[in-house]
Amino acid sequence: MRNRLLLKGLAVILLLIFVGGCGYHFKGKENNLPKDIQSIAIPIFKNNTTETNIENYFTNALIAQFVKGKELKITDAKHADAIIYGVLTEYSDDTLTYANGGKVSQYRVTIAAKVSLVRAKTGKVIWRAKRLSDYADYDASTNTIVNEARKKVAIQKIARYLAEMIHDRMLENF
């Protein structure tokens, strides 16, 4: 009985050593950017779409993601080592499904962006994503105000997801 407990304990210790040494890491905690990049600026995204004022959602979501991540200091462009430039390139709000009687029951918002990280002093591109996109669905309402509110929630959801994607890919160099 004692030998069996000893063997189980040894197996657990070996397993912990193996798992600890296998290179496993938590997503978003790695920073493969050049070591001299310690601070970033995130100016307001440029909006090349037909939907007005959505650039603020994306800018704010990206700032929040980098604040949450704590890998880089966020500052203004004058004091930053690098600057993240974002451009919203595509927007659509399409009918997804219809209910009985031909009334719209769901919409799908799709948004695409391109993003680059450039050195503040030289303008040299460090990282670039030519097209990142996501979509979110929302239920239709006969009330225009309700529809706009639901669309706004969908856009904010896309902004948060793309901000997380940008953050993780930028720091992990994917």
Q: CATH number for the domain including 61?
A: 3.30.160.150
What does the buried/exposed string (b/e) look like for 16-52 if buried means 16 or more CB atoms within 10 Å of the residue's CB? eeeeeeeeeeeeeeebebeeebeebbbeebebebeee
Per-residue pLDDT at 174? 41
Per-residue pLDDT at 33? 85
Radius of gyration of the chain (CA): 22
Per-residue pLDDT at 123? 93
- To the question of pTM greater than 0.75 for the whole model, the response is yes
Q: Taking CA 33 as the corner, what is the angle to CA 125 and CA 44, rounded to the nearest 5 degrees?
A: 55
Instruction: Please give the Cα distance from 150 to 153 (Å, whole number).
Output: 5
Which residue has 């100016």 as its token pair? 43
Say if 20 falls within a structural domain.
Answer: no
The kind and range of the H/E element at 17 are helix 2-20
60: containing domain: 32-172
Say if 14 falls within a structural domain.
Answer: no
Say if 8 falls within a structural domain.
Answer: no
Beta-sheet pairing, 73-74 with 82-98: unpaired
Say if 78 falls within a structural domain.
Answer: yes
Per-residue pLDDT at 70? 87
pLDDT by residue, tens only, the chain of 174 residues: 555 554 555 454 544 455 444 444 444 456 778 889 999 999 999 999 999 999 999 999 999 999 998 889 999 999 999 999 999 999 999 999 999 888 999 999 999 999 999 999 999 999 999 999 999 999 999 999 999 999 999 999 999 999 999 999 998 864
Number of domains the chain is built from: 1
Say if 12 falls within a structural domain.
Answer: no
CA distances, 68 to each of 43, 81, 110, 144 (Å)? 18, 19, 25, 35
For the record, the structure tokens of 12 come out as 């657990």
